[in-house]
Amino acid sequence: MPTHPLRMDTEYLELRTRHPFIIARGGQSDYRTVWVRLRDGDGNEGWGEAAATKFYGETPESVLSALKLYATALPSDPFDIEETERRWGLLLRENPAARAALSSALHDLVGKRLGVPVYRLWGLDPAKAPRSTFTIGLDTPEKIRAKVLEAEQYPILKIKLGTDRDVEILRTIRDATDKEIRVDANGGWTVKQAIAMLPVLEEFGVTVLEQPLPPNELDGLAAITRRASIPVIADESCRTAVDIPPLVGKVDGINIKLAKCGSLREAIRMIAVARAHGLIVMVGCMIESSIGITAAAHFTPLVDIVDLDGAALLANDPFAGAAIDGGQVTLPTGPGLGVRRR
């Protein structure tokens, strides 16, 4: 069988959130991601998206440079995913968002060649996906009330904290709704602040606490987890599978994001490692279009907690793929990722 070399095309996506998306480290309304397309010689295209964040050392520009280098090591056979990803990792170790986009594009391409959705390649039942949260970013009490109303269709809200007015934010939200609330401090608290917040979280009926402390404060995380009556989840403290063993006994679970771990295969490995240690598994996202969200949505049948609202927060998503309407994760049934242009 003749093999055609894969061709890579890249394009910036200019995304805009409905409201400025603010977390403990800051925020904005305009986001730029990179759309990656791998084409084979038979008219098949595999798609991926790189959602670069400065916090993890990437920018859209660094993603493009990294992709140029990775393009020198594209596989002649797109089914050769494991070895290709290993080579990319050796070529340039960091740049997880850039590598995740390529990993997604290879999985999409393979699924399209076989005519099956990625979740079926993995043997997963899409009906097993947990419901997704919808995030309410930091804002004034009036705007927070308006956002809670706008989020009416979503049964579980995730609240960003890590400010000096966290109690006020929680009260504003609890006064506006009876829904389940999970919180994410994005590393914005000290151990003392976090411990002081625990009874407050309990008072407002919060069910999950994500990343109370800065990433490297594992002993502090352990102190909080010991005292907390709700699960404590590590996000910024956990990028890839090797970060999981040091977190065992210190947190209750981990949050996997493709833009941190760099590969769909690594995400599946992380799930296995976390399960072996009895940890809760969450999947999260960046602000990204339906391409990036759908790539992560394909393994949601394997996780406990889903936070894949990145595309739902957008005013101008160019693509349609996995949806979280009414909180329910719905996977597209088309081959590969199943993503199409709107």
Positions touching Mg ion (CB under 5 A) are: 184, 210, 235
Taking the least distance from each CB to Mg ion, the nearer of 75 and 162 is: 162
Q: Which is nearer to Mg ion, 23 or 124 (CB)?
A: 23
Shortest distance (Å) from residue 212 CB to Mg ion = 11
Minimal distance, residue 188 CB to Mg ion, in Å:
11
If we measure between CA atoms, which residue out of 2, 48, 133 comes closest to residue 336? Answer: 48
DSSP-assigned beta bridge partners for residue 180: 156
User: CA geometry: angle at 201 spanning 155 and 214, to 5°?
Assistant: 100
Query: Contact at 8 Å (CB) between 327 and 156?
Result: yes
Is the CB of residue 217 less than 8 Å from the CB of residue 191? Answer: yes
- Which residue lies nearer to Mg ion by CB, 108 or 184? 184
Per DSSP, 330 falls in state B
Among the listed residues 32, 19, 27, 51, the one whose alpha carbon sits nearest the alpha carbon of residue 188 = 27
CB 54 within 8 A of CB 174: no
Q: Please say which residue, 85 or 236, places its beta carbon nearer to Mg ion.
A: 236
Q: Which two tokens stand for residue 153?
A: 């269709």
In the complex with Mg ion, the residue whose CB is nearer, 139 or 235, is: 235
Is residue 130 within 8 A of residue 304, CB to CB? The reply is yes
Give the shortest CB-184-to-Mg ion separation in angstroms. Answer: 4
**With respect to Mg ion, which residue has the nearer C-beta, 67 or 305?**
305
Report in angstroms how near the CB of residue 186 gets to Mg ion at its nearest: 6
Judge whether 103 and 263 are in contact, CB under 8 Å. yes
Strands 319-320 and 340-341 come out as: antiparallel
Q: 85 and 103 in contact (C-beta within 8 Å)?
A: yes
Shortest Å, Cβ 210 to Mg ion: 5
Nearest-approach distance from CB 211 to Mg ion, in angstroms: 5
Least spacing, CB of residue 285 vs Mg ion, in Å = 10
Cα separations (Å) of 146 from 142, 324, 327? 6, 20, 19
Indicate the residue among 46 and 253 with the shorter CB distance to Mg ion.
253
